[in-house]
A and B are shown apart, each in its own frame.
Chain A
Amino acid sequence: MQQLVAYTVIGLTTGAIYALASSGLVVTYVTSGVFNIAHGAIGMIAAFSYWQVRFEWGWSAPIALIAILGVLCPTLGLVIDRVALRGLAQATEVTRLTATVALMAAFIGIATWIWPPENRQPFRGFFDGNNVSVLGVNVGWNKIIALIAAVVVAGGLRILLYKTRLGIQMRAVVDDRSLAELNGARPARIASASWALGASLAGLAGILLAAEVQLNVVPLTLLVINAYAAAIFGRLKSLPLTFLGAMALGLTEAYLLWGQGQSWFPETIGGFSTSGLRQATPTIFLFLLLMLLPQAKLRAGAARVRERSAIPQWNTAILGAAVLVIGSIAVTGMMTRSNTIYLIQALIMALAVVSLVPLTGYAGLVSLAPLTFAGIGAVLMSKMPGDGNVVSLIAVVVVVALIGAVVALPALRLEGIYLALATGAFALLVSILVFNQGKIFSNGVAEVPPLRIPGVDLSQPRPKAIFLSVAFAVVGLLLVALRRSSLGRQFVAMKDSPLAGATLGMNLVRTKALAFAMSAAIASLAGALDAGKVAPDNYTFDRSLPILLLAIVSGVGSIGGAFFGGMLLGSNTVLASIVPSVSKITQVMPGLIGLSMGRNPNGTASQIATGFRPVTSHPQSLLTALSGIGALWLLTSVDIISHWGFFAALVIWGLGIVPNLPALAVTSGRSRVFCLLIAAVGMGIAAFFDDIFDAVPTGGRLLAIIVLFVVVGNAIRRVHTPVAPTSKSSPDLMGLTGFTPEELSQSDRAIKVVP
């Protein structure tokens, strides 16, 4: 009996904390339409900040609480709403969702940066050490306060929503945004208010939770997955149901904890340990609830897609593949062994990123689990008989594709955030329940055998790197073929209008399942080809997030974009391992890049491609560009410039100077001389890079190259681009976008609008 009371109290407390967090989530979702994946991360930041001021700086608890919940959290909520999300109001749901994923990644990065996990004072709950006796059971004050807080917040929200002007406006905005606006409500302000409130609730939950589970960045962030489960129980609308769901979840978890201590509780089921079961409860809950949601209805007038999806051309694709393979043969010949290993990591990342091209880029579906499929691929490859046989690899790819389709099938009835959450829940479940099994990763390590290809030793870094670039090239070409095929068109059509697709005879579930299967198959390569010792930590949920972010940011519709994204992630590891101070920036980087997405939904790769377009259509420039590369190659092969010099000069030449060549060809006089001077100086610095940056480690050198290329490229562009006369040319530019400024001013003169 005492035990029952004890575990019930534990359950209710946990439930109360979940309720606090999930009510905040629901409040922001209903008023602003954004499902905040970063909700848990806000709670985590609040918990860490509270710990900082309370235990490190010794503030008293009430002042610390006011500072965190009354100032920091609302500010954070406001800033997120104003800065990160306001610009995305018209964007697709995928884009908005990714923006909050970016926030989550950024917060995780910031917290690990500010609060590194070493020697930390313990986080103590409120009135630590003092207990109250409830029905003969000692209960800590922190738990009592959590319960009281939940009751107060429940009552407070009720009063706020039904008795105050702000709350009534909030409900009005939920019912009909434009009507509320016509009646004098200001939806933008109301959304800001709800973000501030939601962030404070997340903060309160984070602080209470931290006292129970201690401070740890990722677990604390993910524990709020529990809040997602409760919020889904309330269908993201109903606060009472949300509270009920939270309590049910808390109690289930507590009773399971109780059960695990009993002798009748099976330690293993079918040889698999049940130790992760309690930890996985909320995720299982979430997964089941998502499965029970009704089939998504076909809806007219979904958000208009701003992105363009250009069809990849065969000649560019083949050229790209050839450049990649030849480039990797050339570059790896000059690289040190350790740098080659970094290149291998980058290529593996590129494979993981490119797995999102058919799924997210073409079909418009979000997966938070690309690395989970890579992990399954690695595990299967390590267990396959045949020791790296090509046939086993094919078997692995096929099996993972099937797993991808099967796992996705129940989730495919869902759309948007629900589908994304389901993939996230799947990733967590596999991490907690499968990868943690001793049977799967013995002693936390699995040995993936290198692929056996006659005459090639893939256990050596150089052949491995070359092989991986060949693999990437092949995958890339296959994806080009897919996008140009009937199925590829159907993927894009489904992204643009599922409703029209269905009325034309498209089986949406089948099409989505195919997209998932293909994505899983490609991702499995990122695991199965990564020979060596791998740990489950490589494939966790939080590691999948940067993959998704970089995929979207660098242009998920294009294979070049995916490659670019993978390389960025890879350079991340290079920087992180060599320059620790830089690594902290790079932890935050993916998140910050993700937030820049609102302005350029097509991604970075398409921007770069646009920059090169004039060059490819200008034979003289193209010839100059290629002979420049040839000359550099020659200079390196006769040892006039070093390998680093070659690499740096190649970057400056290719990215900084070549895009400007066609414009340079038509400039004359002093500006031309000036441009050539800048180019010459830039190339000079690059060519003798090794001598100039003698003492600088790899990370610093990479940074220097990036700075140099940006400076040179921009300087040349500034000088040769004539100041656009747009402000004077025409008083009315409406619709006249197809004309050059010269043509416009000519016609303006002709019709005498300007003298």
Chain B
Amino acid sequence: MTALLEVRSVAVRFGGVMALSGVDLDVQKDSITGLIGPNGAGKTTLFNVICGIRQPTTGVVLLDNEEINGVPTQKRSAMGIGRTFQRLELFTTLSVFDNVLVAAELARVSNPHAVAREQIELLGLTDRADTIAGELPTGSARLLEVARALAGRPRLLLLDEPASGLDDVETQQLGVLLQQLKSLGIAVMLVEHDMSLIMKVCDQIHVLDLGNVIASGTPEQIQHNPSVIDAYLGAVR
């Protein structure tokens, strides 16, 4: 099986700081890949590199075996990369429905209104469709970010802490949704601090610390990896 996304020795330098130093990882089709690590480990930076907001200092990103390093951000969505943001980036003055509609229209789907309605339904936001996005509580706002990203019909969905601000029930529903997306053939990359969610849904987990991948494997393997426990999970147990 060939990987949908391949990250090959990607390094990013901010002045004197190496935000990422030589990261290698693959994301398979039909899979959920977890990306965990303490704050400042470089998770969001890696997302920024994958969707073209930041160019890597060295290294390459391959999508379907093709290098996409020079491809500008706005063209990557047409190639099938969608994402949400840790610090919300909603269209705050548009309604919930219009937020998703803009995404569907930008993706040039054949019936944008229907697609938007469908995604809003999927995320359970139908009741709030006419609310102005800026007035949503954080939990709903996170779900709206997911709905909007899905309206772009991505093959690879990058979710940056989608569960922060959700309550337990909502988090569980999100987990179910992620499984559903996987069965639809969407590859999901998930940055999350909620370990129970990560351990439950992910097929593969990569642990980042100080810009390095310190471990990769199944949830089972990661939970028993001593260096991960040292760097990160230790505090949780």
User: A residues engaging B (CB < 8 A)?
Assistant: 298, 300-301, 304-305, 307-309, 311, 486, 489-490, 492-493, 495-497, 499-508
Q: B73 touches which one: A301, A311, A502 (CB < 8 A)?
A: A502
Tell me if A503 and B83 are in contact (CB < 8 A): yes
Are B91 and A505 closer than 8 Å at their CB atoms?
Answer: no
List the A residue with the shortest CB-CB distance to B107.
A505
Are B74 and A492 in contact, with the CB atoms below 8 A? no
Q: Is B77 an interface residue (CB 8 A)?
A: yes
Whether A493 contacts B78 by the Cβ 8 Å rule is no
- Interchain CA distance A247-B93 in the complex, whole Å: 45
Chain B positions 76-94 with a Cβ under 8 Å from a chain A Cβ: 76-78, 81-83, 85, 87, 89-94
Complex contacts, A298 vs chain B, CB 8 Å:
53, 73
Within the complex, the shortest CB–CB distance from B186 to chain A, in Å, comes to: 16
Also in contact, A493 and B74, with CB within 8 A (given A500-B89, A504-B148): no
Q: Does the CB pair B93–A503 fall under 8 Å?
A: no
B101 within 8 A of A: yes
1/0 contact string of B153-177 vs chain A (CB within 8 Å): 0000000000000000000000000
Chain B positions within 8 Å of A311 at CB level: 95, 98
Chain A residue at minimal CB-CB distance from B75 = A505
Q: How far is the CA of A376 from the CA of B89 in the complex (A)?
A: 38
- Check A489/B94 contact, CB under 8 A, given A298-B73, A505-B107, A505-B152: yes
Do residues A301 and B87 form an inter-chain contact, with CB atoms below 8 A? yes
Q: Provide the bound-state CA to CA distance between A619 and B152, in Å.
A: 44
B residues within 8 A CB of A492?
Answer: 91, 93-94
Residues from chain B with Cβ under 8 Å of A301 in the complex: 87, 89
From residue B89, how far is it (CB to closest CB) to chain A in Å? 4
Distance of A693 Cα from B102 Cα, bound (Å): 56
The digit string for B26-40, where 1 denotes a CB below 8 A from any CB of A, is: 000000000000000
A495 to B134 alpha-carbon distance, docked (Å): 13
- Taking a contact as CB atoms under 8 Å apart, the answer to whether B152 and A500 are in contact is no
B53 to A493, Cβ gap below 8 A?
A: no
A300 to B51, CA, bound (A): 13
- Counting chain A CB atoms within 10 Å of each CB, the highest count among B87, B92, B107 belongs to B92
Q: How far is the CB of B68 from chain A (nearest CB, A)?
A: 14
Q: Which of B78, B85, B93 contacts A309 (CB 8 A)?
A: B93
Partner of B53, one of A489, A496, A499, A506: A499
Sample of 8 further A-B pairs with CB below 8 A, known A300-B85, A501-B91: A300-B89, A305-B93, A307-B93, A308-B93, A486-B112, A492-B94, A497-B92, A502-B74
Q: How far, in angstroms, from A489 to B51 measured CA to CA in the complex?
A: 23
State whether the Cβ of B195 lies closer than 8 Å to any Cβ in chain A: no
- Quick one: given A298-B53, A493-B102, are A505 and B78 in contact (CB under 8 Å)? yes
Q: Report the separation of the CA atoms of residues A12 and B85 in the bound assembly, to the nearest whole angstrom.
A: 51
Q: Which residues of A contact B149 (CB under 8 A)?
A: 504
What residue in chain A is nearest B112 (Cβ atoms)? A486
Are A300 and B87 in contact (CB-based, < 8 A)?
yes
A492 to B105, CA, bound (A): 14
29 contacts between A and B (CB under 8 A): A300-B87, A301-B89, A304-B92, A305-B134, A307-B93, A309-B94, A311-B95, A486-B105, A489-B94, A489-B102, A489-B105, A490-B106, A492-B93, A493-B99, A496-B94, A497-B89, A499-B53, A500-B85, A501-B74, A503-B51, A503-B77, A503-B83, A504-B107, A504-B148, A505-B74, A505-B77, A505-B78, A505-B106, A506-B74
For the complex formed, measure the closest distance between the CB of A116 and the CB atoms of chain B, giving whole angstroms.
44
Complex contact B98–A496 (CB within 8 A): no
Which 4 A-B residue pairs are closest in the complex by CB-CB distance? A505-B77, A500-B89, A496-B91, A505-B106
Which residues of chain B come closer than 8 Å to A501, judged between CB atoms? 74, 91, 102, 106
Report the minimum CB–CB distance from A372 to chain B (whole Å): 29
Candidate in A305, A489, A505 with the most chain B CB atoms within 10 angstroms? A505
Q: Which residues on the A side are within 8 Å of B102 (C-beta)?
A: 486, 489-490, 493, 501, 504
For B72, give the chain A residue with the smallest CB separation.
A502
Is B103 at the interface (CB under 8 A from chain A)?
yes
Q: Chain B CB within 10 Å — which of A309, A489, A501, A503 has the most?
A: A503
Q: Is B4 an interface residue (CB 8 A)?
A: no
Pairwise interchain contact B92-A305, C-beta atoms closer than 8 A: yes
B132 proximal to A (CB < 8 A): yes
Which residue of the partner chain, among A490, A496, A499, A502, contacts B105 with CB atoms under 8 Å?
Answer: A490
Residue of A nearest to B152 (CB): A504
CA distance A285 to B76 in the complex (A): 37
CB distance from A630 to the nearest CB of B (A): 36
Q: How far is the CA of A304 from the CA of B92 in the complex (A)?
A: 8
B106-A497 in contact (CB<8A): no
Q: Are A504 and B106 in contact (CB under 8 A)?
A: yes
Bound-state Cα–Cα, A486 to B152, Å = 15
Whether B92 pairs with A496 at a CB distance below 8 angstroms is: yes
Give A500 to B103 CA distance when docked, in angstroms.
Answer: 9
Q: How far is the CB of B177 from chain A (nearest CB, A)?
A: 20
Q: A residues within 8 A CB of B74?
A: 501-508
Tell me, in angstroms, the Cα distance from A500 to B100 when the chains sit together: 12
- CB B27 to nearest CB in A, in angstroms, measures 17
CB neighbours (8 Å) of B95 from chain A are 311
